[in-house]
Amino acid sequence: MLKLIYSFYFIIIISSCAKISPLEGGYKDTLSPILIYSNPKNHSINFKEKVFSFEFDEIIDASGLSQKLIISPYFNNTPELKFKKNNLLLTFDSSFKENTTYILNFADGVKDITEGNPAKNTKLVFSTGNKIDSSFISGFVLDPLKNKFVEGALVVLYNKKDSLGLFNKKPLYFSFSNKDGGFLIENIKSGEYKMYSFVDENQSFIAESKNEAFGYLPNNLKLDSFISNINISLFKENPQKLKLDRKRERGLVYELTYSKYIKKVNVYTKGFINYSLNDNNLLRFYKGKLKQDSVFVIVEAFDSLQEKTTDSLFVSFGKESKRVSKLSHQLKTNYRNDLDDTLLLNFSFSKPINNKLFSFSFYVDTVFYTGPYYSKSVWNKNKTKNKTKLYLNQKAVALFVDSLKNKAIADSLIYEKDSIYTFFKNYYKKLKKDRVFFVVPKGSVVSVEKDTLNKIEKNFLFRGKDFYGSVSGSISGLGTKVLVQLVSENFSRIYKNKKLNNNFYFNKVEPGKYYIKIIIDNNENNKWDYGSILKNIGSEEIIYYKEKIEVRPNWIIEDLIINL
């Protein structure tokens, strides 16, 4: 009986050993699989086979390799993939190009079966010719408008003759930037190349100009050994040629649609016609008070690179129809929420405005302000933009509130037992003299289509001089064509140096942490200019001082010297 029991347990043990599964308990496996053999061997030459075999030092899982495998130069062929235990087999159905050095990079597509640790730095370099190409290039990919390196950007090389190749064909060589923005392209054949970079969101290896940021080097790269410290800055640019795409009549509105963003337009016609530029590329004409149903116009449209297209056409109107769009607006001010006597209000309306003057008022906390202030308002030609300058003195506001408070106190003394006077006395005592509301009442802004806006309201605070700080200094190591800006760490505030030179001074700076941004202003137009990939002109260089500047209330940072 005892022998039978032992035999029974022996059978269970043998049966359980037939199924392979990860061991439980003991120390956790933290080691990555190591490639111990490959055919061909790394750095082999004259290899022209289609089958590649690999052996690792432990059991692997390569089920994700099909999506992770990177072959450079670009090779448009997905291999058949087989793996069993610690062996991996890749079979291609087409031959590799002759006399070319290739890199098969596994990225993190091969992992161990126990803990999923990815094999690191696993790649195979081989040549179909009699030598391994050894030139390489390295550098960084940056987003200069946000002062950060870009991870996962595709960096590509094309033949020097492939103008705008990134928009229409796969690259010759490529790599991806790491978490620090750094990239390295190795084993490049000596020659002359065009270099680009873009964020390949759809993983097509072709840049989508309308959706994906991209950058480029305007000059060709001559490679015969190595080049390092290349910086590529990414921006969004539409390289399409500017043209009028579509025109259509929509009742009392006539629309022109352009192929890309329009920065400004000039409209020439006999007399006057109302128009507005909407949604960046949509120009609308409004019949308004015009008596005739069609008007001959000449339209000059300019994109952000000052490329121009000119069109002559008859703008025609039909019968009155349903309103095409609602009136909307944007309001930008020289301050976010703080007020320092002079307030600049920049209004942008989606339609031309009928009334040149619209009423506005101030409230101090919740009290209507009837004290003194100064205002000046200027409209653009087609009455879609308004610049209003307001001067509101903090002392005058304080005196206005104090007069109300003193009167309420005096009245309450006369009528001590009257609850209404007591209420107003306490109410005015609690008023906040530093809180001001700018209000445009509902219905006071009327468009040429006779629709109006709801109430526009913007609140501000009188901060006082002690609230702000200042920063001054100079830039050395560069020429005189320098534009210096102070930019908050979240890029919501920008203070511009008033003069284009190496000395800078920023006054009335809101407390916080800032970057010092330096623009090499080659054309001395006192602004940053993005280049043109169509014209093969590079962007003006942007440099950030590596240390953040902390501005504190009533604090002066002076004689800051930045040596570049």
Residue among 78, 141, 154 at smallest CA distance from 109: 78
pLDDT of the residue at 419 = 72
pLDDT of the residue at 84 = 93
Residues 458 and 470 in one domain: no
Residues 251 and 202 in one domain: no
Do 327 and 351 contact (CB within 8 A), yes or no?
yes
Residue 451: both structure tokens together: 């629709």
Whether the per-residue pLDDT at 3 is higher than 60: the answer is no
pLDDT of the residue at 327 = 93
SS3 458: strand
| Torsion over CA: 179, 533, 73, 96 (sign) | positive
pLDDT of the residue at 413 = 66
Q: How many Å apart are CA 329 and CA 145, to the nearest integer?
A: 26
Residue 515: both structure tokens together: 């970057």
pLDDT of the residue at 110 = 94
Average pLDDT of the residues in 222-247: 88
On whether residue 412 sits in a domain, the answer given is no
Q: Provide the Cα torsion 500, 502, 503, 504; round to 10°.
A: 60
pLDDT of the residue at 22 = 47
On whether residue 146 sits in a domain, the answer given is yes
Residues 141 and 221 in one domain: yes
pLDDT band at 7 (very low <50, low <70, confident <90, very high): very low
In single-letter form, the type of residue at position 227 comes to I
Q: For the chain, what percent of residues have pLDDT higher than 90?
A: 41
Q: How many Å apart are CA 271 and CA 506, to the nearest integer?
A: 46
pLDDT of the residue at 10 = 34
On whether residue 248 sits in a domain, the answer given is yes
pLDDT of the residue at 248 = 93
On whether residue 20 sits in a domain, the answer given is no
Q: How many Å apart are CA 441 and CA 359, to the nearest integer?
A: 7
Q: In the listed set 176, 203, 233, which residue is the last one of a domain according to the structure? A: 233
Q: Which residue has the higher pLDDT, 511 or 322?
A: 511
Q: How many Å apart are CA 317 and CA 250, to the nearest integer?
A: 7
Residues 118 and 153 in one domain: no
Q: For the chain, what percent of residues have pLDDT higher than 70?
A: 92
Whether the per-residue pLDDT at 9 is higher than 60: the answer is no
Whether the per-residue pLDDT at 51 is higher than 90: the answer is yes
Q: Which residue has the higher pLDDT, 141 or 291?
A: 141
Looking at residue 493, which CATH number applies to its domain? Answer: 2.60.40.1120
Residues 211 and 139 in one domain: yes
Containing structural domain, residue 106: 35-127
pLDDT of the residue at 81 = 94
pLDDT band at 27 (very low <50, low <70, confident <90, very high): low
Do 338 and 510 contact (CB within 8 A), yes or no?
yes
Whether the per-residue pLDDT at 510 is higher than 70: the answer is yes
- Residues 435-446 pLDDT 10s: 889 999 999 999
Average pLDDT of the residues in 455-474: 88
Beta strands 456-462; 338-339: pairing state: parallel
SS3 428: helix
pLDDT band at 29 (very low <50, low <70, confident <90, very high): low
On whether residue 220 sits in a domain, the answer given is yes
Residues 83 and 119 in one domain: yes
Residue 502: both structure tokens together: 């190496």
pLDDT of the residue at 87 = 95
Residues 385 and 302 in one domain: no
pLDDT of the residue at 355 = 77
Residue with tokens 């009028």: 244
Residues 333 and 449 in one domain: yes
Q: How many Å apart are CA 102 and CA 51, to the nearest integer?
A: 14
Q: In the listed set 73, 102, 127, which residue is the last one of a domain according to the structure? A: 127
Average pLDDT of the residues in 192-209: 86
pLDDT band at 407 (very low <50, low <70, confident <90, very high): confident
On whether residue 324 sits in a domain, the answer given is no
Looking at residue 303, which CATH number applies to its domain? Answer: 2.60.40.1220
pLDDT of the residue at 201 = 83
Q: How many Å apart are CA 358 and CA 356, to the nearest integer?
A: 7
Residue 64: both structure tokens together: 């994700």
Q: Provide the Cα torsion 184, 187, 191, 197; round to 10°.
A: -30
> Which secondary-structure segment (H or E) carries 217?
none
Measured at the CA of 474, the angle between CA 468 and CA 475, to 5 degrees, comes to: 130
Residue with tokens 């003057």: 357
pLDDT of the residue at 358 = 76
pLDDT of the residue at 15 = 34
Residues 358 and 282 in one domain: no
Residues 343 and 458 in one domain: yes
Whether the per-residue pLDDT at 6 is higher than 70: the answer is no
Average pLDDT of the residues in 186-193: 91
Which of 416-420, 481-485, 531-535 has the least mean pLDDT? Answer: 416-420
Residues 6+ apart with CB under 8 A from 127: 44, 45, 46, 47, 99, 100, 101, 102, 133
pLDDT band at 410 (very low <50, low <70, confident <90, very high): confident
pLDDT of the residue at 530 = 80
Residue among 368, 407, 547, 408 at smallest CA distance from 473: 547
| Torsion over CA: 262, 263, 268, 271 (sign) | positive
SS3 113: coil
Residues 91 and 53 in one domain: yes
Q: Which residue has the higher pLDDT, 472 or 19?
A: 472
pLDDT of the residue at 13 = 35
Residue among 197, 217, 279 at smallest CA distance from 245: 279
On whether residue 414 sits in a domain, the answer given is no
Q: In the listed set 287, 316, 345, which residue is the last one of a domain according to the structure? A: 316
Q: Which residue has the higher pLDDT, 401 or 15?
A: 401
- Residues 85-113 pLDDT 10s: 999 999 999 999 999 999 998 888 899 99
Residues 336 and 440 in one domain: yes
The angle, 0 to 180 degrees and rounded to 10, between the axes of the packed helices 419-429 and 394-414 is 160
Q: Which residue has the higher pLDDT, 471 or 498?
A: 471
* Number of independent structural domains in the chain: 5
Q: What's the chain's average pLDDT?
A: 86
Average pLDDT of the residues in 124-133: 94
SS3 484: strand
- Residues 308-364 pLDDT 10s: 999 999 999 998 777 778 999 999 887 666 777 788 899 999 999 987 777 888 898
Residue among 147, 155, 276, 259 at smallest CA distance from 210: 259
On whether residue 473 sits in a domain, the answer given is yes
DSSP assignment, residue 50? S
Whether the per-residue pLDDT at 26 is higher than 70: the answer is no
